[in-house]
Chains A and B, each alone.
Chain A
């Protein structure tokens, strides 16, 4: 069901000068650009209201783009219906409401693998239980009855069912205990190791910068800084201006 393996020299995702927002004439993104290359973990950081979530929602087709472009493997996906995004090899894990709470864990995973042959879906589900052993124990349980961390695992596993090349996560650490954040981010490294690139929108700058290859700092709807995780983490200017309390804790 997923797109053919793309050339590795073309970015998985390239966003250029994107202007987007829920209401016409009130753009939240005001010309944002970023790219995710093959095998990268890219973090998008910034203060509240900077447009981090809007950026991934615009890629997912949930927020209309007014101008600029969004390229997946070199092809524009502007105007693509949300339900067709998964077919381009991009999977998205929203920040809230990212599991079907009334459906069982296994049903959540099945729906993530829609469109593939049933034998492939079963094989993928087994793969997800190997990656997230906890989930196998709760396979028949309604996802709404799981803890926040377990739900996040279901959400990520559900997204991976479609065999994406790029996984977009909107604040996977929100509401999780520090130990759980560490566990989730450890899983992201494992996921990248099997060839899935990751675009990570995070409030928790310290945790995100620790695992990312590159990061962007977004403010007022545009990217203000771009650099390696280490550089961004070390920059006092960025910490003070844009990353707020989380980096003060880090330093």
Chain B
């Protein structure tokens, strides 16, 4: 059982890092971005490109990679954020300026998703790739076996969630983001530059997606649809957690991750997403607004 929980928390880590961006973009730009999964993949591939140039020489404390990957992770976080910013400026912003409807923005995000995925295939091919091939002996922690790479994913995710909380609750920009997500018009009246808040939303959302991509790539593999496959679990997590709350999305991701791990362990891997959605339905029957959501 402890092993199942550990697997669930590892699976949840990737969902958490992805869903934070999905939730922030949903609340601040007012549309669900179907490209969020593919931003995870672009992040993983940007890091892969940097690693291909710099190599992954060495190994840190039992991890399957050396310092160059840490550098690549940081660069990919920033570059992936800038890529999202470029996409916003050239596509979503144009639609906002024309007062496009929410459905137009959603369809545009579908287009961005296809564009990013196919750009990856064009540049890097279909085949799965790996950051490093070093064999990792699993660690035993409190009765659960976990690889150092997976442990790193959980630790980095936890750190990011804590950092996000401090950012949203302590900094002016974080409070401004919460203000814009609740009432953009009042935020403007308050002197908050909403366009600036939107830029930071993309930087943070896509930056965290890149971290998710690299950690997922280290844990499993890097392939063009790695992010797209996370899209459904991310949406499930956001909805079950309550769409208006980033914290809800994080809790939702944990719930989905653990539900998937239980299914894989006790039923069969093929039923993973079906059971995850069953959990979503059960929670919503009891609490239609989601775990931390507000009643409409």
Contact = CB atoms under 8 A, between A and B. Distances in A.
A146 to B, nearest CB: 15
Contacts of A92: 189
Interface in A145-164: 158, 162
A83 B191 CA distance: 4
A207 to B, nearest CB: 24
- Kindly name the residue among B186, B190, B244 whose own CB sees the greatest number of chain A CB atoms within 10 A: B190
B172 A97 contact: no
A158 B190 contact: yes
A82 B193 CA distance: 9
A213 to B, nearest CB: 25
Given A83-B192, A97-B186, A103 B176 contact: no
Is chain A's binding surface mostly helix, strand, loop or mixed?
Answer: loop
Interface residues of A, number: 27
B189 A111 contact: no
A103 B192 contact: no
B176 A114 contact: yes
A102 interface: yes
A38 interface: no
B190 A111 contact: yes
Interface string A102-132: 1100010011101100000000000000000
B185 interface: yes
B265 interface: no
Interface in B57-85: none
A81 B187 CA distance: 12
B190 A86 contact: yes
Contact of B192 (A61, A97, A114): A114
Given A111-B175, A114-B172, A100 B191 contact: no
A64 interface: no
Interface string B187-212: 11111111000000000000000000
B178 interface: yes
Interface residues of B, number: 19
B183 interface: yes
A181 interface: no
A247 interface: no
A101 interface: yes
B185 A94 contact: yes
A130 B244 CA distance: 34
Contact of A110 (B172, B183, B185, B194): B172
B182 interface: yes
Given A111-B175, A114-B172, A86 B182 contact: no
A165 to B, nearest CB: 15
Contacts of A84: 191
A98 interface: yes
A100 B182 contact: yes
Contacts of B176: 111, 114
Given A102-B182, A103-B182, A112 B175 contact: no
A101 B175 contact: no
Interface string A74-100: 000000011111110000101001111
Given A62-B185, A110-B172, A114-B172, A103 B179 contact: yes
Given A82-B185, A94-B186, A102-B244, 20 more contacts: A81-B188, A85-B189, A86-B190, A94-B185, A94-B189, A97-B183, A100-B178, A100-B179, A100-B182, A100-B183, A100-B186, A101-B182, A102-B294, A103-B182, A107-B175, A110-B175, A111-B179, A111-B190, A112-B190, A114-B176
Interface of A: 60-62, 81-87, 92, 94, 97-103, 107, 110-112, 114-115, 158, 162
Q: Closest 7 interchain pairs by CB?
A: A86-B191, A82-B188, A83-B188, A100-B179, A83-B193, A114-B191, A92-B189
Interface of B: 172, 175-176, 178-179, 182-183, 185-194, 244, 294
26 contacts: A60-B189, A82-B185, A83-B188, A83-B194, A84-B191, A85-B189, A86-B189, A92-B189, A94-B186, A97-B183, A97-B186, A98-B186, A99-B186, A100-B186, A102-B178, A102-B182, A102-B244, A102-B294, A103-B175, A103-B179, A107-B175, A111-B172, A114-B172, A114-B192, A158-B190, A162-B191
